[in-house]
Amino acid sequence: MIRVRILLTGICLALFGLYAKAQTVGYENAGKKAQQHFDNAITAVGSFQYKEAISQLESAIKAQPRFIDAYGQLGLTYVELKQYQLAVTTFDKLKQLDSNAIRPARMPYSRALAGLGRYEEALAVVNQYLAISKSASPNAVKLKANYEFAIAAKSNAAPFEPKNLGDSINSKDPEYFPSLTIDDQTLVYTRRVNGRNEDFFIALRDSAHWRKSRDMGEPVNTAFNEGAQNISQDGEMLVFTGCDFPNGRGSCDIYYSIKTAEGWQAPVNMGGAINTREWESQPCLSPDKQTLYFVRATSDAAADIFISKRLANGQWEQAQRLGPNINTRLAESTPFIHADNQTLYFSSAGHPGFGAQDLFFSRRQPDGNWGPAVNLGYPVNTIDEDASMVVSSDGRTAYFASDRADTRGALDIYSFELPETARAQKTLYVRGYVYDAKTEQRLPATLELIDLQTGFNIATVRSTADGSYLVPLPLGKDYAFNVNRKGYLFYSDNFSLLASQDGKPYEKNIPLQPLEANAVVILKNIFFETGKYALKEDSYTELDKTVKLLGENSSMKVEISGHTDDVGADKDNQVLSENRAKEVVKYLVSKGIPADRVVAKGYGETQPVAPNDTEDGRAQNRRTVLKVISL
């Protein structure tokens, strides 16, 4: 849920009158007509009718042009509406009328200056305030720190040109919390319909344009209060916040719905590992749907970002807070994990920043932990609260909600290009289905994507009941791609994306070989130097997978065979293939597999699977193969 932040101006009209000079006019001597308009404005402010308040204050100034109380309250009202240029113009007029009259409004005056990016002037004003204050207010001290941070960081400002997504998405009602599928073809967001009930809307992309969005309808949308949703990268799962639901554990809980051939299923509470008596909200799924990021209200830090991982049995483990590089003593919110599964975007009030709450990102480190929080910088971050941003699979296009000048009515959804330093890795994907190689029956299976350099598991995806799957492929790395199902040989493949800067998604339907005599799998992630037989380190992921297969099938005997292309002398290729097979067997035995269960054979160039007249064909012929001898 979006928590509405109410900021009352709270500055009494008499404060301005205290500093009135003879040539200026305070409330006491403004005249009845001006006083009446001013009183009406104060009443309007008290009920948050800011436009009416502005109208009344303008009438008061028209009736009494030197009415400093009216100018002061008008400036404050503009600050409430984030109309900072009008606020600064009004406060400057107040200073012209009486230089002392600005004193009680120095804090909002400094905010208005900062809202225009005039941080040096804002710092000077807040320093003046602190110099005469008997005790430094925490708010003033924080603003001073914000301004000093901004002055140091503003020199690195990047272009920022948000684009309204247009009438197909936005309306007179507030729209917020956008989320996208990995193919950038589906957008789901929250709309507060008629200013009351929050519902989810969905839009599909037609070429470069979004089609007209539609209400997602029941059973996802209900008469209860739901919002702050996130659609999974494959578009098959929706997680969201439900407040005051009949089966809720606290004020707001996290729920999920699964998409089937019949449509979206009835929402389900995610259970006690995630939901408590506290406020839980703003969920986001990792691209493989195995980790949930969300926000929980806490007694010691206002709100922190938590994660829960899905166990092998499908249940969620007890949620844990992310570490101090992400969470602080103040509030964190709106986590978003990119499709690359390596870049986390979030909002924080506790890390050094420009304003009340800034947007940050963190990179996953080689050990799996999150690196330091990095501020997205100016002008993405401002003096105001900046939160709830998502980034498309291209790593550079961000979406967020804002009430900018070209809004259709309230909050609208916009897109913009991220600064280069804050971009995630562009991410492709491979999708298809898994099936039995003999019967062609579709199979549910587990698919793993592993960084060959680090051995880090980038994604673990469980296919649907009909075998369908989608696995993200961040560019810039080489991956082992394995598919596993009990009773079958694992499937081995790889994606070499280390040098790729572009590319298209992959379609791959995967046959699994039942575990039986003569079943064969090509071990595509066993690597050797050209003309040599020493195993390269990035082979270990696949070799360990083979150790696991043999360990789980304790009576199985296999042949490990080496094959080469036809480059070079036949005899040399025969010896090379034998030595390579022996190196693989040697590794397996070193990991505890009995030597009598693994046989090494070399076939040289005698069993090609592709013509040797192209590099691609020769690469296919240079291979290591596992064949089941007996079970």
Q: Which of 2-6, 76-80, 215-219, 410-414 has the lowest mean pLDDT?
A: 2-6
Residues 6 or more apart whose Cβ sits within 8 Å of residue 29: none
Q: Is 235 left (phi over 0), alpha (psi -120 to 50) or beta?
A: left
pLDDT at 3 over 60: no
pLDDT at 281 over 50: yes
- pLDDT value for 23: 66
Look over the chain and give the mean of its residue pLDDT values, rounded to a whole number. Answer: 91
pLDDT at 56 over 90: yes
Instruction: Name the β-bridge partners of 180.
Output: 187
pLDDT at 178 over 80: yes
426-514: CATH architecture:
Sandwich (2.60)
Tokens found for residue 202: 């969905």
Average pLDDT over residues 119-137: 89
How many residues make up the chain in this entry? 631
**CA-closest candidate to residue 575, choices 609, 622, 531:** 531
Average pLDDT over residues 476-500: 90
Q: How confident is the model at residue 383 (pLDDT cuts 50, 70, 90)?
A: confident
Give the distance from CA 57 to its chain's centroid. 43
pLDDT at 519 over 90: yes
- pLDDT value for 157: 80
- Show me where the domains of the chain are located: 13-156, 198-387, 426-514, 515-631
Average pLDDT over residues 334-343: 96
pLDDT at 590 over 90: yes
Three-state DSSP at 279 gives coil
Q: Is 289 left (phi over 0), alpha (psi -120 to 50) or beta?
A: left
Backbone angles phi, psi at 371, to 5 degrees: -80, -175
- pLDDT value for 94: 94
Fold of domain 13-156? 1.25.40
Q: How confident is the model at residue 147 (pLDDT cuts 50, 70, 90)?
A: very high
CA distance 189 to 240: 11
Q: How confident is the model at residue 4 (pLDDT cuts 50, 70, 90)?
A: very low
pLDDT at 536 over 80: yes
Q: How confident is the model at residue 501 (pLDDT cuts 50, 70, 90)?
A: low
**CA-closest candidate to residue 158, choices 423, 427, 501, 424:** 423
- pLDDT value for 183: 94
- pLDDT value for 193: 87
Q: How confident is the model at residue 585 (pLDDT cuts 50, 70, 90)?
A: very high
- pLDDT value for 126: 92
Which residue spans within 475-556 are E strands per DSSP? 478-484, 491-496, 506-507, 510-512, 520-522
Domain 198-387: assigned CATH number: 2.120.10.30
CA distance 98 to 24: 7
Long-range CB contact pairs, 34-39, < 8 A, 24+:
34/60, 34/61, 34/63, 34/64, 34/67, 34/70, 35/60, 37/63, 37/70, 38/13, 38/67, 38/69, 38/70, 38/73
**CA-closest candidate to residue 41, choices 15, 7, 18, 75:** 75
pLDDT tens track for 438-449: 999 999 999 999
pLDDT tens track for 191-243: 998 877 889 999 999 878 899 999 999 999 988 888 899 999 999 999 999 99
pTM: 0.85
| Whether the Cβ atoms of residue 629 and residue 517 lie closer than 8 Å to each other | yes
**CA-closest candidate to residue 159, choices 412, 396, 411:** 396
pLDDT at 453 over 90: no
Average pLDDT over residues 51-67: 95
pLDDT at 17 over 70: no
| Whether the Cβ atoms of residue 580 and residue 621 lie closer than 8 Å to each other | no
Residue 294 CB burial class (10 angstroms; 0-12, 13-18, ≥19)? buried
Q: How confident is the model at residue 248 (pLDDT cuts 50, 70, 90)?
A: confident
**CA-closest candidate to residue 341, choices 377, 289, 376:** 289
- pLDDT value for 223: 86
CA distance 610 to 616: 8
Average pLDDT over residues 16-33: 72
Q: What is the DSSP string of 406-469?
A: T-SSS-EEEEEEPPGGGPPPPEEEEEEEEEETTT--B---EEEEEETTT--EEEEEE--TTSEE
Q: What angle do CA 136, 139, 143 make, to 5 degrees?
A: 100
Fold of domain 515-631? 60s Ribosomal Protein L30; Chain: A; (3.30.1330)
pLDDT at 318 over 60: yes
CA distance 156 to 150: 10
